[in-house]
Amino acid sequence: MATHESKPFFVNRKDIVFVKPSKSTTQEVLLLSTMDNDPTLEYIGQTIQVYKSNDLESPKDPVAVIKEALSKVLVFYYPLAGMLKRHKNDGRLRLYCNAGAGVPFLEASANCKLSSLHYLDCLDIAVTKKLVFDRPDDEIDGDEEGCYYHPLLIQVTRFSCGGFTIGMGMSHSVCDGFGAAQFYRALAELASGKSEPTVNPVWERNRLLVTTPEEPKSLVDKAFLATSPHIPPSDVVHEFYNVSSESIKRLKKALRANESGENYTSFEILAAYVARAKFRSLEMNLDGYTVLSFTANIRNHLSPHIPDGYYGNAFFEPRMIMIGKDLSEGPLLKVVKMIANSKKKAITTESIMTLLRNMEWFIEKKVKSRVARGWTFFTDWRNLNLIEEVDFGWGASVNMIPLPFDVHGFIDLCVFMTPCRMDSLMKGGMRVFVSLPRACMAKFKEEMDVLKRGEVNNLI
């Protein structure tokens, strides 16, 4: 791959403009679901999509195309052109749909080629922070009831090679991963000439709304959770770690040899391995408990089903608990089995309603439902299919990256992703986005390198 150019990386940003729906839209105040109102989810999640030049002479400007498409798609997704506010008196979010607000949109130009940045395959926070932007200055303190802010922000940055990036900030209170991906596909469809999205958006947040709180039952007393001398961290670093398809195949083969007839998924196997690597790198106590958790889409598990097009938060968090010694020193196969069995457990309407009542309890108490230690939370972005399927007219994205975000606590979260398409050696592999205290990252890489070297026989 190309190396960084010697000149400093620079992005020239124009003034923020506010893109409004191309047609008149409904002006109203929308309530959000109980799940949307969870204080843990109230943050702007930032992602960057990378599009290389298609090597064809085109009079079209990606900034103009995307800006026009945004104006059109906001006719269908008009709530995203409004303003959010959490009211202090009841702790609830409200979305003020006002076409006069619009989506903050920023046009920018970079002074280099995408290849000089490895198509963002090597995470450099100083670089990526210039390809997105935070809340604009127009966001005001509001009144005694709370502060207004935009649920969506977009920056399109041109590069000298003809490629570009789309940096998007989306409120997790308004959209989960599936919802954000649905909006992004709709934006691309209208940029490509369609008159309306293939999937029409559905609000209907009342489907996941409860009013009766229920105090959650703890899996384990927090006093018995595993601790680390590195938590709370004073210096957190963020890294991508690539796991090749060959490494995954070797581990699967070794597992099958010890568990005849069982086929475990790449997610189950790698989640178990990463959880162990994190636990060891954090030097957590072996007699403490650790919790593993991951997201599961609930759109088809409710009765009646949540309708197609629903773009609010709709996920479940299966959780499993184990002694640290079992995770760190026991057979990896045991951890894989626990994850696989947890995925197979039925997600029922009643279990979802219990989750919502628990969330309602946290909302009323005005606290974030997170654990700061002894916890690893996995989310799998591969099934969003945003790299392979989304084309604005310049070909599919070659890379997609998240920026660090504090949802369950920086170091609790691991994201599994599709590798950069510019790296042919990673075809069929997986990429792990992980955040750890700086003092622990080298040890984590050592643990992951064992998998890369194929030394799996003693792991099972």
Residues forming the active site: 172, 391
Q: How far apart are CA 121 and CA 103, in angstroms?
A: 28
Q: Which of 166, 143, 178, 146 is nearest to 42 (CA)?
A: 146
The phi and psi torsions of 414 (rounded to 5 degrees) equal -125, 130
Q: How far apart are CA 409 and CA 125, in angstroms?
A: 18
The phi and psi torsions of 237 (rounded to 5 degrees) equal -120, 155
Burial status of residue 5 (CB atoms within 10 A of its CB: 0-12, 13-18, 19 or more): middle
- Copy the structure tokens of residue 339: 């994850």
Q: CB count, 10 Å around CB of 170? A: 22
Residues paired with 437 in a beta bridge: 236
Vertex 405 angle, CA 447 and 47, to 5°: 100
Amino acid, single-letter form, for residue 24: S
Q: How far apart are CA 192 and CA 184, in angstroms?
A: 12
Q: Which of 48, 63, 51 is nearest to 107 (CA)?
A: 63
- Copy the structure tokens of residue 275: 């959880």
For residue 17, the surrounding DSSP H or E stretch is strand 17-19
CB–CB of 191/69 below 8 Å? yes
Burial status of residue 77 (CB atoms within 10 A of its CB: 0-12, 13-18, 19 or more): buried
Q: How far apart are CA 199 and CA 182, in angstroms?
A: 8
Amino acid, single-letter form, for residue 312: G
Beta-carbon contacts of residue 344 (< 8 Å; ≥ 6 apart): none
Q: CB count, 10 Å around CB of 154? A: 21
